[in-house]
A and B are shown apart, each in its own frame.
Chain A
Amino acid sequence: MSRVPGFGRIDRSRTVTITVDGVPYTGHPGDTVASVLLAHDVHPRTTSVKYGRPRGITGAWTEDPTGLIQVEEPFPEPMLLATTVEATDGLVVRGVNGQGRLAEVADTARYDRRHHHCDVLVVGAGPAGLVAARAAARRGESVVLVDDRADPGGTLTGTETIDGEPSPAFVADVVAELADQPEVTHLQRTTAFGHYDDGFVLALERRGDSVDGYGLRTRQRVHRIRASRVVVAAGAIERPVVIEDGDRPGVVLASAARDLLHRHGVLVGREVVVFTTNDSAYAAALDLHEAGAGVRVLDARDEAPRGWARACAERGVAVTPAATVRGTRGEERITAAVTGDGTEIPCDLLLLSGGWTPAAHLVSHVGGALTYDETLGAFVFGEPVAGVEVIGAANGTLALADVLREAGGAGAPHAPAEDDGAPPRVLWRTEGDPARQFVDVARDATVADIARAVGAGLTHPEHVKRYTTIGTAHDQGRTSGMLAIGILAELTGRPVAAMRPTTFRPPFVPVAFAALAGRERGDLFDPVRTTPLHAWHVAAGAEFEDVGQWKRARHYPRAGEDMTAAVLRECAAVRTSVGIMDASTLGTIDVRGPDAPVLLDRLYTNMMSSLKVGRVRYGVMCGNDGMVRDDGTVLRLAENRYLVTTTTGNAAAVLDSMEEWLQTEWTDLRVRLTSVTDHWSIAAVAGPRSRDVIGAVFGDLDVSNDAFGFMTWQDTVLDGTPVRVARISFSGELAFEVSVASGYASAVWARLLAAGQAYGITPYGTETMHVLRAEKGYPIIGQDTDGTVSPHDLGMSWAVSAKKDDFVGKRSYTRPENRNPLRKQLVSLLPTDAATKLPEGSQIVGFCADGRLPAPPVPMLGHVTSSYHSAELARPFALALVKGGRDRVGEVVHVPVEGELVPALIGSSVLVDPEGARRDG
């Protein structure tokens, strides 16, 4: 065991058991998978992606490029870092060999999101962030403070003194003060992973897997934070020095060893060599020594810093200045460090510190320019970005006393200054074999790879990144990116300051898609729109289909019926007696104003200004290209008022397009549009007995053909509630559409059903409606058309006005292609065997006399757009778009269906009641 008494903030009174690579290990609350393993002197069994070299744990947090694990329990998640996964009872993980594995079962956990608005967002609850958040709160500002670790305090180890008290007490005081402020939201375990324009930051909160309440508590939450000011106090990340075989397990960042000791009480090695280019590693050396390790420090600088050297001497830690480490020895683990002069120092741990790189990711996300700091050997926040502040180590300010001053201004807390320090030496790598000098350990990319990139003529860091893949792993090159630029500068003989670092992009840490999806899954994935009659449809056993966002009743199967049988029964009912359908999903737009007739004349291909009040007209809308976009009916309610219906799926698009014309092109027209789709509920009552039903329910209405003609509407009243009835038919049968304010839809529907009982009134769904309209050759926009079909192609030249000066699409009709007699036209297809239902989408070819499909390419004549069984015709039939189709009426063509050629007769598109005799009942 490498657990050291007296160190660490874990809860030793309780234990947790995790399983790694099949072996159970005990740890304590506060541990990570990495700290549990290291406490047991174990490294996870992972190997590098390209060369299969053994890999251990190098860091202590998200900077770790190596310790990847696969979580298996409680829920499979790939490619997580052992250093960031908290050890919880029952956790099962294994080391990853190159690639992880996604879960094959649905995730039952909950994910959600929350929106925040605040004056200040502080990212990072280390000393800088805490002080900045407190200062803002004291000014009365609303604050959101996020920090990615389990506890606040950042890199404070607990050994520091702030305002005369131990740092943990200081942290506790600040946290308590913030907790008292209602305007402060403080979130730990929350990683700000993306920073976007105008102070918008996304952060992921890990709320934990509760074993008992799994599926109840939200596991992860995405916080969407909009802040007037963003303070980045995200700290800095230590980087190693590139040495030969520096990827060997047992080579660890000095800061990580110190963090593991103070956070988890884990001593990562007993015989320790520290190789540093700066002062910060001395603290690690002394702490590990105090915890019982034998420690030697090799300092790359000509002179060791006097204050630290003195402290080391007092405690018996050997310090050698002007010394380097060239490489390592060992098999699975390090056994010795090789110094620059070739001496081998036996050790089980080599700590590296090559300096500190500010965590400038959140600045880079919003395009903040970074400039090179020669002293630090790192890029720092350069030109100011409006609304963004960078403080503390993230700004290159490393000493605690300076950090506090920078974050707190005049009233800043005080920490004693470190005396007799020395500036760092900027050193990217030591002498050695470039092919064994790993720069990005996660990507198995070496100095030789960078040299190869340079040899290939690539000199910009962005190019070298893509050539070598350095910085593209899960860690985004936290520890390797700066080294790669430094080494590239060396190899190309240019100053680092002349380099432009690669741009960091969100997310800062990997984020599960489940978290981004949040609660938008299952029934909440997309809004489900329902009509007021939905519950009735459900109770009546309807099968539903999705039309846009709507759920529409497709058919109402009875016991033992499949869809074909149900639809045949429903069709027969409408053709022989009466049926009723919920048409409330139709888009409805109220068009008001003195210029309403002008607007509609311009938007529809046919004339709407000549429509008389009290009458209804079918209309077709086209795009600029003259192709059909939508169709529907238009009711003229008054001289200056129309009610326009659109297809269900196009309601919003049609309204938007009408508004666009009004607001951008025809601003002089005095017209106002109001969507009333949800206001009106519409029941379509169709069939020869529909007049009886309507007459019975609406006693005030004279429903005789003379008094209530086809394509007219009338207002009436039912028990004090206004109702509008229109004679509109989409089946060719005598039919009425009954409109009422949607709150009364159920009541009206019930009355219609009761009155229709005597005639066996049959509810019918959209599938039946489709068959009935197809029998009449009425196209469905979007099914029989695809944006390339003109009204003429549909056989609706009658709906295109020749009188109007202009309307949307008119000019396109003079294009030669629109007059091409070989354009595809809507016709019917009757399979000559009167038995085959042609699959929709089937291609149509010319008749093949020998009954065999010729060798490709076979000229295509068109395709089947709609195909059904017809109760009325007692046979299957189809609608199709066929080249020059109307001239081919009477011709037999072939339709290849599953390897067979099915002969089919082309006919006019109207198959049932071509004379229109049934319209008036």
Chain B
Amino acid sequence: MADLPVPTLPWAHPLESRRARLEDVSAVRQELSAPVAAVDLRLDPAGAGPAAVAAVVGGPLPERPDTWTALPAGLALRLGPDEWLLTSSRARPEDWEFGVDEAALAHGGSAVDVSAQRTSLRLRGQRARDLLASCCALDLRPASFPRGRCAQTLLGQSAVLLVAHDTDDLQLFVRTSFAGYVADLLVDAAHDF
């Protein structure tokens, strides 16, 4: 697949139709994140697998669940004991899957392209955490959920993956089909801010 031409087919953000409404919220800046290549990596954490994958993706994988580390052009998010989400804003999805999968396969692991499974919103501002606290039961205080933490949880009734970049800077990944619901939920929650 390495000799494929650069895609010219138009790509659409699942929240494009809600962009204006999200940007209307003044209390918390809500930006649609650009698409990234993403794979769901399943791998035995005990063996040499994580190191082998790290060599391919260019950065160490997080050692504790619910934390993330930075990759050269993306994130390595540990979702569970044997599960990571690896993103790259540079690689093409099919190459990203192929490369990670090849490294993981040798250690009994596997990687599946999930680039379009989720979309992402970036929330910035002093009240970003308050806004999330109106829909999320998790302890999101900066001391409990500092930079480097991530968590799979519920926002309203939708599963999301929350990522802490900084005290006033959070990101949420949500399944494409639930993205509209989550955006509407956040816009509605910001109503009284």
Contacts and interface: CB of A to CB of B under 8 A. Distances in A.
Are A and B bound to each other?
Answer: yes
Nearest to A530: B180
Interface string B1-35: 10011111111111001000000000000000001
Interface in A179-234: 216-218, 224, 226
A887 interface: no
A720 interface: yes
B141 A526 contact: no
A174 interface: no
Contacts of B69: none
Contact of B94 (A672, A722, A748): A722
Contacts, number: 138
A380 B63 CA distance: 49
Nearest to B108: A670
B9 A718 contact: yes
Report the contact-size class of chain B (Cβ under 8 Å from the partner): 35 or more
A185 B144 CA distance: 17
B55 interface: no
Contacts of B17: 535
A385 interface: no
A742 B14 contact: yes
Given A113-B134, A116-B133, A672-B42, A527 B181 contact: yes
Given A527-B156, A532-B14, A678 B180 contact: no
Given A676-B114, A678-B117, A722-B94, A519 B137 contact: no
A679 B137 contact: no
Contacts of A679: 113-117, 176
Interface in B41-58: 42
A117 B141 contact: yes
B94 to A, nearest CB: 6
A534 B179 CA distance: 12
Contact of A678 (B11, B118, B138): B118
A721 B134 contact: no
Contacts of B93: 741
Contacts of B136: 115
B188 interface: yes
22 contacts: A115-B133, A117-B139, A226-B139, A519-B188, A528-B181, A530-B180, A535-B17, A592-B110, A592-B112, A672-B110, A674-B42, A674-B112, A679-B117, A679-B176, A681-B116, A722-B94, A741-B115, A741-B116, A744-B10, A744-B12, A745-B12, A746-B10
Contacts of A921: none
A112 B186 CA distance: 12
B167 to A, nearest CB: 12
Interface in A75-124: 110, 112-117
Contacts of A418: none
Question: Chain A interface mostly helix, strand, loop or mixed?
Answer: mixed
B12 A746 contact: yes
Contacts of B12: 532, 743-747
A532 to B, nearest CB: 6
A550 interface: yes
B89 interface: no
A526 B157 contact: yes
The 6 A-B pairs with the shortest beta carbon distances in the complex, nearest first, are: A720-B7, A741-B116, A529-B177, A679-B117, A117-B139, A527-B181
Nearest to B130: A114
A278 interface: no
A524 B42 CA distance: 34
A527 B1 contact: no
A531 interface: yes
Interface in A698-743: 717-722, 741-743
Nearest to B110: A592
Contacts of B191: 110, 216, 218
A524 B14 contact: no
B112 A676 contact: yes
Contacts of B4: 717, 720, 722
Contacts of A678: 116-118, 175-177
Contacts of B134: 112-115
Given A678-B117, A721-B9, A110 B42 contact: no
A142 interface: yes
A217 B192 CA distance: 6
A719 B94 contact: no
B116 A743 contact: yes
A527 B157 contact: yes
A748 B114 CA distance: 19
Contacts of B91: none
Contact of A527 (B114, B138, B141, B158): B158
A661 B10 CA distance: 41
Nearest to B92: A720
A115 B137 contact: yes
